[in-house]
A = this chain, B = another copy of it.
Amino acid sequence: MNPLLKARVARGAAAEDEANYILQDMVKVVFTPSGRRGSFPVNTPLLHAARVLGVDIDSVCGGRGLCGRCQIICAEGSFAKHQIDSDSTHLSPLCATEIKYGERKAPLANGRRLSCHTLLLDDVVIDVPPESQVHRQIVRKEADYRNISLDPATRLYYVQVAEADMHVPKGDMQRLMETLAQEWGLANLSYDSRLLKTLQPVLAEGKRSITVAVHKNQQIIALCPGFRDKSYGVAVDVGSTTIVVHLCDLSNGEVLSSASLMNPQIRFGEDLMSRVSYVMMNPEGAGEMTVVIRDALNSLFAEVAAEIEASVEDILEVSLVANPIMHHILLGISPVELGGAPFALTTDAAVEVPARELDLNINGGGRIYILPCIAGHVGADTAGMILSEEPQEQDQMTLLVDVGTNAEIVLGNRQRLLACSSPTGPAFEGAQISCGQRAAAGAIERVRINPETLQPRFKVIGCDLWSDEAGFDLAIESHGVTGICGSGIIEVVAEMFLSGIVTVDGIVDGELAARSSRVIQNDRTWSYVLHSPANDEAQIVVTQNDIRQIQLAKAALYAGVKLLMDRIGTQKVERIRLAGAFGSHINVQHAMVLGLIPDCALGEVSSAGNAAGTGARIALLNNQSRDVIETLVKNIEKVETAMEPRFQDYFVDAMAFPNKTDSFPNLFSVVSRPVPKVISDGAGAGRKRRRR
């Protein structure tokens, strides 16, 4: 008898046994960790007992001993009738199917059994290890405070479909659906109409055994001949600058491979608004941008699949976050309406479409899930950040900030959530800064200035030594010191402020030129020389205009935060999470010194990593999280900064370091407060702004 048939017979026998319940010798079983317990006739398969008791044990093959997902461990129990000597007294001995499974896949670890092929003989305690649970937890390495419960939207089901029968002339699709209903309880399924073409060839190839991918327990989206227990999903974060994808094993949530690419739309404009302008000028431009972004995703999908020697056909799901403009362009929607007031989204709801509708090359029936947008400037990436960070689960007044060309800001706790976007511009990314550059080898990322001597020391990316340590010159010889990256610019400006080189109003104090040759005149304003190389490389200088750019960017960010604090009616923030690459690299204390973020206990400010991308991964691996974020987003209060009269006032106050009106008790308990000094200056940004 073939093993499949055997398993079916065993299942049939179990059902019969159940009918004879009363007549038989009964044994007790307790499952841990669930604690569910019950009595069953001798010879009941463990998997069957687990199902009856509602114990969460996984299975793809439906009890045929093929998938190995239903492994359990026999533990001793004090309630046993007899002393437990060995498993074999209380459970049936290892059977041929289990031995075969061990040969075909990995041998069963010590004490492990396939619960579908293990029969109850006497009272036992059975432990269901985490990896055998359907809703098992995935430990998130990058964020320690919560885990993802594995429950992907698409799951595999293996069945044997009865041969066609002339006397019962129903379609093979109906036969398949009936089998899925009987064996897996999947009632009222629909199917992707494209599968009509492949069903009979697949059934023939698998000799009527077939693995079916079912989306949300509703629709059959893919078919595969024979037994199969691997399927993949990809989490995607489409940023304005970078696209990052992670391929995950949908059976265990593991990230198997990752890849990233510069967003190829950069050739249409470095920042989002210039890309929208491009479309305004070139009506065909939206279509072109849609094509390049989809092509980029397709090449990334091919790359991550190839890395694990899989095909893109094996990718059944994609979950994606993006800002509203990228979101719309990816969907083939012109972003022009997002380019000006009232910043009308075409859709703010989550989008779920077959991948082929977006020309994305994964499995022909594969699905794309795009998280919901929050407002015209606050996109699915922010939704991803919220899904990852769960501010709605916090008691503390929590501030989430993702800084890019726009800063997305979320404030709240379990009572209430507010969100807005603020136009910080690209200064924090090193753009529009005279010596600014991307984070790459040779870029200055850490800076300290001695307030007495005004002498700096710094670290560059790619070298572990400080610039004043022995061997530094030699260590950097290969790349030199090439510029200042985003986190470096924050540090140098903060250090210039702390050492008095820059005043609260953001003016480089020319009087200090008397004390240090590093303060130099440049036209009508003053600059600070951060690095003067011995060789003929260019000096690295922070100019008055660089300071001004940082002031404008940080004022926009801070004003946005203030607006939300105002709206929610709080004077202080209790916890701050900084998301994105910028958030991972900046020094929290320096950021607060400049007033990028409001005052907060420094221990409560931390990096959230790529929170948007993590949100995409959560939505990929846990179907219910999609409902969570979709419902949550509807209840988030959206604040449009451009429409708030107070935004301008907050902005002006926030031009000062750290802020004109706010005190920073937490900050100034650890940092010595610089002497306030205001220099009258024609280019004084504060007053200039106010005059506008």
Contacts and interface: CB of A to CB of B under 8 A. Distances in A.
Given A333-B196, A337-B164, A345 B643 contact: no
Nearest to A170: B348
A351 B174 contact: no
Given A171-B346, A342-B165, A348-B171, A196 B331 contact: yes
A691 interface: no
Interface residues of A, number: 44
Interface in A570-624: none
Contacts of A351: 193, 196
Contacts of A375: 169
A343 interface: yes
Interface string A540-552: 0000000000000
* Copies of this chain held together in the complex: 2
A197 B343 CA distance: 16
Interface string A59-88: 000000000000000000000000000000
26 contacts: A163-B342, A164-B337, A164-B344, A165-B342, A166-B341, A166-B342, A166-B643, A167-B640, A169-B342, A169-B374, A169-B375, A170-B348, A171-B344, A171-B345, A171-B348, A171-B373, A172-B344, A172-B347, A173-B346, A173-B349, A196-B331, A196-B333, A196-B346, A196-B347, A200-B333, A200-B337
B200 A334 contact: yes
A642 B166 contact: yes
A130 interface: no
A376 B169 contact: yes
A357 B332 CA distance: 19
Interface string A277-308: 00000000000000000000000000000000
Contact of A349 (B164, B174, B334, B347): B174
Interface in A196-213: 196-197, 199-201
Contacts of A562: none
Contacts of A357: 193-194
Contacts of A275: none
Interface string A231-249: 0000000000000000000
Interface of A: 163-167, 169-174, 193-194, 196-197, 199-201, 331-334, 337, 341-349, 351, 353, 357, 373-376, 378, 638, 640, 642-643
Contacts of A349: 171, 173-174
A344 B173 contact: no
Contact of A332 (B196, B346, B353): B196
Contact of A166 (B165, B171, B172, B343): B343
A171 B333 contact: no
Given A193-B357, A342-B164, A173 B643 contact: no
Contacts of A167: 640, 643
Contacts of A337: 164, 172, 200
B348 A169 contact: yes
A506 to B, nearest CB: 31
